[in-house]
Each structure stands twice: as structure tokens, then as C-alpha cells.
Amino acid sequence: MNPEEFVQTVRDDNETALSRLGSSKSLYAETEGEMEPQVVFAAAADAEYAAAETFEAWADSEANETASEAFGETAAEERDHYEQVTAKLDEDHEPSEVPAVHEYLRDVDDTAGRVGGFLGRTIASEKSKEQMVGFFVGQADPQTAQLFRDLGDDLDGQLERIEALLDEVCESDDDWDRAKETASGAINAAYEEYTETLEGMGVNPKPVC
């Protein structure tokens, strides 16, 4: 399978979940209804910290050298993102619970599965970044909106990295199937957490805003 086609297939197969993760309710869920700049920064910091930790662990334990290097490069990017976001906080950041998507990813230990999970997490992260850009545009804070645009731009580079990895590590139909399984698994983990959070707040998660 062509990597570009594979990425589009994953997007298409998870269209409903991704559309809802890209709705205005997504940020509402991430902040548990506290739509204030400092809370948004803290939520973003939690995500960046968890990503850095996940990819660092993968880089250390991955047997495929190319994949290990890609995970290490991504971990460094996420660590940089974390530092940029925490610089906006008024106080030191204390990471909260690990986001569900990273709980899922940390249980994946095969190369094709990790590359697929990397894809799913990155596609889901695109939606989160878009909502944060929109929030700070609405706050009339163009500088911070640009910060999150820049962080989102780095996801484009990560997608290119993922496509190159797919081309290298997916040598059989089973490999492609495994990558697809974990890509969807990562997206669904993020979506289920979104749904459960909103339902716990008494908010209907289904209609797209």
C-alpha cells in the first residue's frame, strides 16, 4: 500500500471521531469546562509532556534503528513544545494523569504497531492544535495563536516522518493491518476520553459544533 493512501484511509475510517475531536467541545473537554488561557496552557503542557515521555521510551526500546531515530527526533520536538507551552504558565507545571491516547500507545511494543499509533496520535493532535489556535484567536491573542500554529506545523513534519516509516517497516499485509489497527486505536482512545469527559460533565458529546 502507498503510505499517503494509507494515511488518508485512516482519516476516512475515523472520520466521525476526528470530526468530533475537531469540534469546539474538544477543548471544552480538555479543560473540563474551564475555558481560561492558563487552563488551556496546562492542558497543552500535559499533552506535550506525555508525548515526549512516550516517544523517548519508544526510542530507547525500539529494535528498528530507523524507527528508533524517528521516535527520538519526535521526542525532542515534543520536549521543545512542552518548554514553549510551559513558558506561558504563571506557575510551574505539574503533569496531571497521562492522557488516554498515551496510555494506549505505551502498551504497543511492535514496530508496525508503534508507527501506526504514532500516526493516529498525530492526526488526533492536529485537531487539538486547531482548537487551541481558534481559542487564542478568540481571545484576541494573535501571538499565542501563532505559537500553536507553529506547533501544529511541526505535525506536518511528523506526518512526513510517519509516511517514510510506513514505507520502510510495513513489508506485508499483516504489517499494514497492524499499523491500521493501532492508528485507529490511538484515535479511538482519544475519542473515548473526550466522550467520557463530556458525559461526566452532563454534556452530549455527539453533535458537532
The answer on pLDDT for 131 being more than 80 is yes
Q: 208 pLDDT exceeds 70?
A: no
CB atoms inside a 10 Å sphere around CB 139: 14
Residue 184 has pLDDT above 70, yes or no: yes
Number of structural domains the chain divides into? 1
pLDDT in tens, 1-17: 799 999 999 999 999 99
Q: Where in the sequence is the domain holding 82, given as residue range(s)?
A: 3-199
Q: Name the residue with cell 492558563.
A: 38
Does 206 map to a domain? no
Q: Is residue 89 part of a domain?
A: yes
Q: What is the CATH number for 108?
A: 1.20.910.10
What pLDDT is stored for residue 24 in this prediction? 85
Q: What is the pLDDT of residues 57-66, one digit of tens each?
A: 999 999 999 9
- Mean pLDDT taken over the chain: 95
Percent of the chain whose pLDDT exceeds 90: 93
- Asked whether residue 204 is domain-assigned, the answer is no
User: Is 183's pLDDT higher than 50?
Assistant: yes
Q: Which of 20-24, 102-106, 117-121, 177-181 has the lowest mean pLDDT?
A: 20-24
Helix axes 111-138, 65-86, angle to 10 degrees: 20
Is residue 198 very low, low, confident or very high in pLDDT (cuts 50, 70, 90)? very high
Would 118 be classed as within a structural domain?
yes
* Residue 209 in domain: no
The pLDDT score that the predictor gives to residue 63 is: 96
DSSP states of 104-172: HHTT--SHHHHHHHHHHHHHHHHHHHHHHHHHHHHTT-HHHHHHHHHHHHHHHHHHHHHHHHHHHH--S
- What percent of the chain shows pLDDT beyond 70? 99
- Kindly indicate the confidence band of residue 206, based on its pLDDT and cuts at 50, 70 and 90: confident
Q: What is the pLDDT of residue 1?
A: 79
pLDDT band for position 207 (50/70/90)? low
User: What local confidence, expressed as pLDDT, does residue 117 receive?
Assistant: 98
Query: Structure pTM?
Result: 0.95
Question: How high is the pLDDT of residue 209?
Answer: 43
Residue 17, CA distances (Å) to 3, 53, 78, 113 in order: 21, 25, 24, 20
Q: Label residue 205 by pLDDT band (50, 70, 90).
A: confident
